[in-house]
Amino acid sequence: MTRKRAVTLTALVATSALLFAACTSSPGQATSTTPTTAGSSAAPATSGAPSSSATNSGTVSSGPASSGPATSGATGSSAPTTSNEPAGADGCGKPHGAYTDPGTAAGAVTVGFNELSTSWNAQSSHGNSVYNSNALYLTQAQNWYYDKDLKLINNDSFMTCKVTSTKPLTIAYTINKDAKWSDGVPVSAEDLLMTWISNSGNFSTGEVKTDKDGNPLPSTGSTVAFDSSSPGLALIKAFPTISADHKTLTTVFTEPFVDYQLNLTIGVPAHAVAVKALGISDPTAAVAALVKAAQTKDNASLAKIANTWNTAFDFTALPSDKSLYLSDGPYIMSDFKANQFQTFTINPAYTWGPKPSVATITIQYAPDPTAAVQSLANGELQIINPQATADVLKGATALESQGVKVINGSGGTYEHVDLAENNKGPFDPATYGGDATKATEVRTAFLKTIPRQDIIDRLIKPLNPAATIRNSFTQVPGAPGYAPMVAANGMSAYDKVDLAGAKALLAQAGVKTPVNVRFMYADNNPRRASEYQLIAASAKQAGFNVIDAKNANWSSQLTNTKIYDAVLFGWQNSTTGVAQNPPNFLSGAAGQNNFYGYKNANVDKWMNQLNVTTDAATQTKLLTDTETQLVKDGFGTILFQFPDITAFDSTKVTGVGGIALVPGVFSNFWEWKIAG
């Protein structure tokens, strides 16, 4: 699984759990499910891993579809253990059953968010972000989602997932016979198969190449290179079986994947990929050719399919080609103006899941958190989930007399700093003739200078007086496994700045100072700019010259370590599964969220074992051993759990809530109602 960058995590990503989160309150960042008094704190139910970040300006969802960061609770997975699941048990969470029909949808709601979509394919490594997941959550039918209590719910009106055998683990996914894409093509087993083909790694014969800006380049010849990976889907080696009616896909695992319930979801439509990649205009014939290419390992065709899947669905304004943004969910995207807004209107054909009451939802580009509050006051926005700052909290609570409700607490995103070890920069062994010990000493020295407590005292405590340093890569503060993890992993040694220790390590390494460190972060994020300034000032005292490398396109540039040495952003969880952690730390293609070239043989062994381990005690040991090694190797550091603020005008819209996972405030959009 993958996390999401908050720049980071949603139910629609089959392989990742963490998402990139851009801001403190990353786009899509989790919030408490019910309004609380301003200033109160609600601990997220799960820990943030990588995913892949919170408000659009600095958060990523963790992990490729099943990325490792997104998970909280290192003591175990939220999915049931396969060893105790009888054949016939549901494989996508607790079945919901029929939904209440709200009647004819009416009215419009505008949500302020600090970033808009860049891709309709959130399963790709570069498309794995909270802001992409937000749009897709509105427009793609979900076979599972989390309720307000973070219980996994199967939308059995769309798809049922049955465990038909446990030895070997076998799951049959059956799609509603009426489900169809917005172009009229039925949703089919081949759409699930497309996710397996692109994410399993079973068909890739090479790695994705990028240009100087980190953008994926098309592979040449017969080289097949899909821009994604999923440890869970990689365990499905045998070609899945497609039923005669093309509505059921049956998969067999070589080993029992720990988070099998979160493993397979639909991404971009198979027929849209096949038509564009193979030049066959008839959707049925194109899909048949796609399946045949996969069955016969026709690499010439698969290379075209991979190139199309990787980048054809990337756009920042409404494409003229409607096949690039097809919907099989409650809404259809009807308008998209670059850096302005995205509008979604009700899908009249949709009957296979919860139906919304609001006819139109617009996501308004609102990068300035203070301006977002003013827009809420003016009635231009009805819901905002801006970067959380003291001024935003003060401004939002001041509007309570006019009906504004404020949800204030801890979100599902965590802030962290990672160091590049693969760019011939200050933290790369190659810079020192391959001397890994020397590079580790330089990394450790830099980490000793980061003023973690000062950052929290100055920037976070004004929002949450109880805020503390987060000292775990996999456990959220307050979770049962957090205290034992912190007692064992050694990260608390970095709680206080140690300039003398940093200087001593640089001297021991024989490194000439000042050491230049290019530091990347979101350039539209005031809090991140403040964090950078505090880090740069502290590190300078130990002999580091920290160079401002802020970047408007930071999330798409995470794979491009040629332009940075250290990076600051947030991971947001999209699931509660334990398997979202490995993609953050594994080396090679399996480490979809490990952009930095980190490699440790023991960590690879432990994380691969975690993917197939259902015993909670063993999971805890594997995670503890991994975290201890990450600290020892100077992988990076964690700063804090994001504060999160959602505010909405209750005189215009009701039912607004959110969860501490991607898609945060959008998680229950079908429960929103026009007030009055």
Alpha-carbon distance of 582 to 578, in angstroms, equals 9
State residue 3's pLDDT score: 52
Alpha-carbon distance of 344 to 472, in angstroms, equals 38
Structure tokens at 443: 């990394």
Question: Using the 8-state DSSP alphabet, how is residue 322 labeled?
Answer: G
Burial of 370 from C-beta contacts in 10 A (0-12 / 13-18 / 19+): middle
pLDDT digits (tens, 9 = 90+) for 32-83: 333 333 333 232 233 333 333 333 345 554 433 333 222 222 222 233 333 3
Q: Give residue 58's identity as a one-letter amino acid code.
A: G
Which of these, 510, 516, 518, 541, lies nearest to 438 by C-alpha position? Answer: 510
Q: Mean of the pLDDT values across residues 233-237?
A: 95
pTM of the model: 0.80
Q: Is the omega angle on the peptide bond into residue 256 within 30 degrees of 0, that is, cis? A: no
Least confident of 131-140, 171-180, 445-454, 547-556: 547-556
Whether the Cβ atoms of residue 314 and residue 119 lie closer than 8 Å to each other: yes
Is the pLDDT confidence value at 141 over 60? yes
User: Model confidence at 537, in pLDDT bands (50, 70, 90)?
Assistant: very high
Q: Mean of the pLDDT values across residues 213-227?
A: 91
Give the largest CA-CA distance in the chain: 72
pLDDT digits (tens, 9 = 90+) for 346-358: 999 999 999 999 9
Alpha-carbon distance of 419 to 160, in angstroms, equals 42
Burial of 96 from C-beta contacts in 10 A (0-12 / 13-18 / 19+): middle
Alpha-carbon distance of 115 to 522, in angstroms, equals 11
Tell me the C-alpha to C-alpha distance, in Å, between residue 150 and each of 54, 59, 79, 145, 158.
18, 21, 11, 9, 20
Least confident of 204-208, 286-290, 410-414, 484-488: 410-414
Is the pLDDT confidence value at 545 over 70? yes
pLDDT digits (tens, 9 = 90+) for 148-191: 888 899 999 999 999 999 999 999 999 999 999 999 999 999 99
State residue 413's pLDDT score: 84
Is the pLDDT confidence value at 500 over 70? yes
Q: Which helix (H) or strand (E) holds 397?
A: helix 390-397
- Bridge partners, 646 (sequence order): 407
State residue 19's pLDDT score: 61
Helices (H) and strands (E) in the chain, counts: 16, 24
Report helix, strand and coil shares of the chain as percent, to nearest 5: 30, 20, 50
User: Model confidence at 18, in pLDDT bands (50, 70, 90)?
Assistant: low
Selected residue with higher pLDDT from 41 and 251: 251
State residue 430's pLDDT score: 98
Whether the Cβ atoms of residue 510 and residue 553 lie closer than 8 Å to each other: no
Which percentage of the chain shows pLDDT scores above 70? 87
What is the 3-state secondary structure of 159-206?
EEEEEEEECCEEEEEEECCCCECCCCCECCHHHHHHHHHHHCCCCCCC
Mean pLDDT of the chain: 87
Sign of CA dihedral 578, 583, 585, 589: positive
Which of these, 402, 403, 367, lies nearest to 384 by C-alpha position? Answer: 367
State residue 438's pLDDT score: 98
Structure tokens at 514: 């000042």
Structure tokens at 471: 């000292």
State residue 58's pLDDT score: 53
Burial of 417 from C-beta contacts in 10 A (0-12 / 13-18 / 19+): buried
Alpha-carbon distance of 579 to 599, in angstroms, equals 18
With tokens 């200033």, the residue in question is 39
Query: Between β-strands 106-113 and 358-365, what pairing exists: parallel, antiparallel or unpaired?
Result: parallel
Q: Mean of the pLDDT values across residues 452-469?
A: 92
Least confident of 107-121, 291-305, 454-468: 454-468
Selected residue with higher pLDDT from 63 and 195: 195
User: Model confidence at 15, in pLDDT bands (50, 70, 90)?
Assistant: very low
Angle between helices 189-199 and 299-311 (to 10 degrees): 90
User: Model confidence at 210, in pLDDT bands (50, 70, 90)?
Assistant: confident
Is the pLDDT confidence value at 511 over 70? yes
Task: Give first-to-last CA distance, the chain, whole Å.
Answer: 41
State residue 592's pLDDT score: 83
Tally Cβ neighbours within 10 Å of residue 675: 15
Helix (H, G, I), strand (E, B) or coil at 276: helix
State residue 27's pLDDT score: 27
Alpha-carbon distance of 275 to 378, in angstroms, equals 46
pLDDT digits (tens, 9 = 90+) for 374-426: 999 999 999 999 988 888 999 999 999 999 999 987 777 899 999 999 999 99
Q: Is the omega angle on the peptide bond into residue 218 within 30 degrees of 0, that is, cis? A: no
Is the pLDDT confidence value at 620 over 80? yes
Is the pLDDT confidence value at 540 over 80? yes
Q: Please state the φ and ψ torsions of residue 77, each to the nearest 5 degrees.
A: -90, 150
Least confident of 34-38, 157-161, 218-222, 338-342: 34-38
